[in-house]
């Protein structure tokens, strides 16, 4: 077996373990039991080793990883839970959501066009199902599921496509791919539905950006959707969802904002919410490994 083939086999085996076999335990075990198992697994240094170590380097450089072993354990746990949600959704009913999800705040009014804004923080898949249960119809704006990150990784590509289908089922609406998706965003809003956007996207993935402060550093962030909110007077709901590290219960925090007339002020307000949760639970931010791509300087 050549070196290239052996490397491919090892990568596919790791993907199968980390994306299916371990998080999939949530589908066959009661959630409190599965969460206890996940907490044990999160102490294993080999789990999600490369991305976790890469993330730790960036977090350490920003002074956001004081206890590195605890930081890595939380990072592995959040990653496991985030992947497990894909399987939980397929095997659990709304009754599971009512039992294990605690909610603070309220969604914006149903039947009215609006933006739901979240970030790459915590574990948020169940927020879509919760929104749909409250009468909202969110279309999630997502990145493409092909390109260099998926080359030579069959299992990862299949997992991501299946997860996009889970997102569609959770919200009851098709996803909108970000590349060239602005007309579909406008169509959804014209139909008095909602669009869920994950706003902390690296600036090289979007057309236009604005500079704001995050953790004391100037960073470039997407400009189009906050501008659209101001121009169309769209109500926004900031959606933040994570897992309680002690109990495994999900915590969904909702805050509705009026867009106002100042696009820059709105963008700052949104990223202040991200900064607040990054300071409280830094290991829960998924994009530490991409942090350098955000810096404006």
- What is the structure's pLDDT at 103? 97
Strands 209-214 and 217-222 turn out to be antiparallel
How many angstroms separate the Cα of 1 from the Cα of each of 4, 9, 36?
Answer: 8, 10, 39
How far apart, in whole angstroms, are the C-alpha atoms of residue 269 and residue 259? Answer: 10
- pTM for the full model? 0.93
Q: Which DSSP letter does residue 148 get?
A: G
CA 88 to chain centre: 16
How far apart, in whole angstroms, are the C-alpha atoms of residue 112 and residue 284? Answer: 31
Residues 240-293: tens digit of each pLDDT = 999 999 999 999 999 999 999 999 999 999 999 999 999 999 999 999 999 999
Q: What is the DSSP string of 178-221?
A: STT-HHHHHHHHHTT-EEEEE----GGGSS-EEEEEETTEEEEE
Tokens of 275: 């900064």
Residues 108-145: tens digit of each pLDDT = 999 999 999 999 999 999 999 999 999 998 999 988 77
Residues 211-251: tens digit of each pLDDT = 999 999 999 999 999 999 999 999 999 999 999 999 999 99
How far apart, in whole angstroms, are the C-alpha atoms of residue 277 and residue 240? Answer: 9
How far apart, in whole angstroms, are the C-alpha atoms of residue 75 and residue 141? Answer: 25
Largest CA distance in the chain: 63
How far apart, in whole angstroms, are the C-alpha atoms of residue 93 and residue 78? Answer: 22
Cβ distance 105 to 253 under 8 Å? yes
5 three-class SS: helix
Domain residue extents for the chain: 3-293
Number of other residues whose CB lies within 10 A of the CB of residue 168: 15
Residue 147 reports pLDDT greater than 70: no
């Amino acid at each position: 077996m050549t070196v290239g083939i052996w490397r491919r086999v090892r990568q596919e085996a790791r993907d199968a373990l980390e994306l299916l076999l371990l998080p999939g335990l949530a589908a066959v075990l009661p959630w409190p039991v599965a969460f206890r198992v996940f907490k044990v697994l999160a102490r294993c240094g080999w789990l999600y080793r490369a991305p976790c170590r890469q993330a730790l380097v960036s977090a350490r450089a920003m002074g956001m990883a004081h206890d590195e072993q605890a930081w890595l354990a939380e990072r592995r746990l959040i990653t496991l839970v985030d992947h497990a949600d894909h399987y939980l959704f397929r095997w659990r009913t709304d009754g599971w959501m009512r039992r294990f999800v605690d909610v603070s705040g309220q969604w914006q009014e149903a039947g009215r066009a609006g933006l739901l804004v979240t970030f790459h923080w915590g574990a948020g898949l169940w927020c879509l199902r919760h929104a749909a249960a409250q009468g909202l119809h969110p279309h999630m704006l997502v990145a493409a599921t092909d390109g260099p990150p998926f080359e030579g990784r069959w299992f990862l590509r299949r997992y991501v496509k299946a997860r996009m289908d889970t997102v569609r089922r959770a919200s009851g609406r098709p996803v909108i791919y970000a590349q060239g998706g602005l007309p579909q965003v406008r169509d959804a809003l014209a139909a008095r539905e909602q669009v869920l956007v994950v706003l902390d996207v690296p600036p090289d993935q979007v057309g236009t950006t604005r500079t704001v402060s995050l953790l004391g550093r100037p960073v470039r962030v997407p400009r189009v959707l906050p501008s659209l909110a101001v121009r169309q007077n769209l109500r926004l709901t900031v959606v933040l969802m994570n897992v309680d590290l002690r109990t495994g219960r999900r915590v969904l925090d909702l805050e509705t904002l009026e867009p106002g007339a100042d696009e820059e002020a709105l963008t700052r307000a949104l990223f202040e919410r991200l900064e607040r949760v990054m300071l409280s639970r830094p290991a829960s931010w998924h994009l530490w490994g991409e942090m350098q791509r955000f810096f404006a300087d």
